[in-house]
Amino acid sequence: MPAPDANLKITDPLPEAERRARDAEQQKKEEKELRRARIVLAIYYIVLPLILAILLFKVFPEYPWPTVSKESNELVGKIPIYFFGRAIATSLEDRLLLLVIVAGALGSYIHSATSYSDFRGNRQFNPSWTLWYALRPLIGVCMAMVVYFATRGGLLLLIVKGDEATKAGSINPFGVAAVAGLTGMFSKQAADKLAEVFTTLFKTQGDDNRKDSLTPGAPPTITKVDPAKGSVAGGTEVTITGKAFAAGATISVGDNFATNVEVVNDTTIKAKTPAGELGPVDVTVANADGQEATLTKGFEYVAADSKDNGSQTDADSGSQGNTNTATAGNTDVGGSGNKESTDAAKSDTVDSADATA
């Protein structure tokens, strides 16, 4: 019988089996939740329109609203509505408000039911949205009431002049139902448009002047640290370049905070590095609102006598020494030698001329 291979690793199948069992259980739980949400919403969307249709029939006011007598224009004060054999006395104003509530819910039902059917048909419905679908008719009711109050309070004055604008008998209930229904159907668009209008109308710079504004600014970013190297002893003046730097920002180089931090503007910060250990470290800029940015290995600590730290100084010194030596040699030594050679050549020429003569 061959000996077992020492390098052979035997994997225990239990953890894998447990993981699969856990995943299967989680999947069953999600499917159960999805099935329950589908059943609840299906019943909700079948029963709700029936209830709204009955309520619309019950609360819709008579038009024109009856008067006390043929000779008088005074409207009848109360007309009962019967629910399950019980009478509830309502005036014309009550009827109009109830009409707005029912019509707003009906319009919002159209919007939410259409959305649900689209997602359900495409198999993209998520049970976490169940509450959203359930609340849409209520949101439509609230939005329709706001629009109705705004219309009755002032917008009708642009159409109907005088005291007739505020009298319930002068209002067509069909128009009220149409406006309320459309508001409920497009409650999201109506809310967005109202938010846009009133944000523009009541625009202020107050939040910009508050240090604890609820609306945070853009997060900072770091693009460059110059110089990227410095002594482990600290004290290296660096310039950090980036975006969205705010007053009061702090700088961390490695595990320590930088000193003499100066936020020049929203794109530039100057500071002195703290003492650190050899090697690259991260540089972090943290704004006062808690947002921060980190440049990984943005700065490197080198030894105080490192060539990287003093190469420029050595180069400058060598350049100066070479320049002075070369210049002096060429001018003094080279110049004197050339002059002596010229004088010797002239003396040889004279001696040759005399000998010839």
- CATH 2.60.40.10 maps onto the chain at 221-306
pLDDT at 146: 87
- Asked whether residue 307 carries a pLDDT value surpassing 70, the answer given is no
- Asked whether residue 280 carries a pLDDT value surpassing 50, the answer given is yes
Residue range 92-121: average pLDDT? 90
**CA-CA-CA-CA dihedral for 25, 30, 31, 37, to nearest 10:** 150
pLDDT at 155: 54
Name the fold adopted by 221-306: Immunoglobulin-like (2.60.40)
pLDDT at 9: 52
The answer to whether the bond into 274 is cis (omega within 30° of 0) is no
pLDDT at 163: 53
C-alpha distances (whole Å) from 318 to each of 64, 270, 309, 331 are: 107, 32, 16, 20
pLDDT at 21: 86
Q: pTM for the full model?
A: 0.49
Compute CA 319 distance to the chain's CA centroid, rounded to the nearest angstrom.
Answer: 55
Residue whose entry in the numeric block shows the structure tokens 């809310």 = 191
Residue range 171-200: average pLDDT? 83
Residue 131: which H helix or E strand, with range? helix 130-153
* Highest-scoring range by mean pLDDT, 66-80, 207-221, 268-282, 317-331: 268-282
Measured between alpha carbons, how far is 282 from 295 in angstroms, rounded to an integer?
A: 6
Measured between alpha carbons, how far is 187 from 184 in angstroms, rounded to an integer?
A: 5
Mean of pLDDT over the chain: 77
Measured between alpha carbons, how far is 73 from 287 in angstroms, rounded to an integer?
A: 70
Three-state SS at 337: helix
DSSP state of 274: P
pLDDT at 186: 87
DSSP state of 165: G
Query: What residues contact 253, with CB distance under 8 A and at least 6 apart?
Result: 273, 274, 276, 281, 283, 299
- Asked whether residue 188 carries a pLDDT value surpassing 60, the answer given is yes
Measured between alpha carbons, how far is 194 from 187 in angstroms, rounded to an integer?
A: 10
- Asked whether residue 72 carries a pLDDT value surpassing 70, the answer given is no
- The proportion of the chain whose per-residue pLDDT surpasses 90, expressed as a percent, equals 35
- Asked whether residue 151 carries a pLDDT value surpassing 50, the answer given is yes
Query: What residues contact 15, with CB distance under 8 A and at least 6 apart?
Result: none
Residue range 306-329: average pLDDT? 41
Residue range 267-292: average pLDDT? 92
- Asked whether residue 14 carries a pLDDT value surpassing 50, the answer given is yes
List the end-to-end C-alpha distance of the chain, in Å, as a whole number: 121
Residue whose entry in the numeric block shows the structure tokens 């504004």 = 213
Query: What residues contact 246, with CB distance under 8 A and at least 6 apart?
Result: 217, 220, 263, 266, 287, 288, 289
